[in-house]
Amino acid sequence: MTLMALEHRLTQEGYQVLTAADGNEAKKILKAGMVDFLLTDLYMPAVDGLELIGYVRNELKMNIPVIMLTRVGSEDTILKAFELGADDYITKPFSPSELSLRIKKAVMKNG
């Protein structure tokens, strides 16, 4: 439900949105390139968000903005995400307007 709502909102804001049902599918999309930023959850089937951040930064050597959006707000998880290369970390529930602003800011900073 959250994925569909985010896809709709970001499309309305002019972004071309690619979605993945699980971490393995996300890795395939990222490996193919043409991705300007990554918005990921922590818990996903197959490959979790932390693994995905590590894949982007260490294996693909991509310097795209990475935002973690998850229910998990533990300090250990937040620190681990930032250590792996996340640019931002947002806990659910979240403000869609705030998320949009953070994405714009991250993309402009990187662009």
Question: What predicted TM-score, i.e. pTM, was given to this entire model?
Answer: 0.92
**Does the pLDDT of residue 2 top 90, yes or no?**
no
* pLDDT beyond 70 at 111: no
Which domains are present in the chain? 24-104 (3.40.50.2300)
39: Cβ contacts below 8 Å, ≥ 6 apart: 6, 67, 69, 103
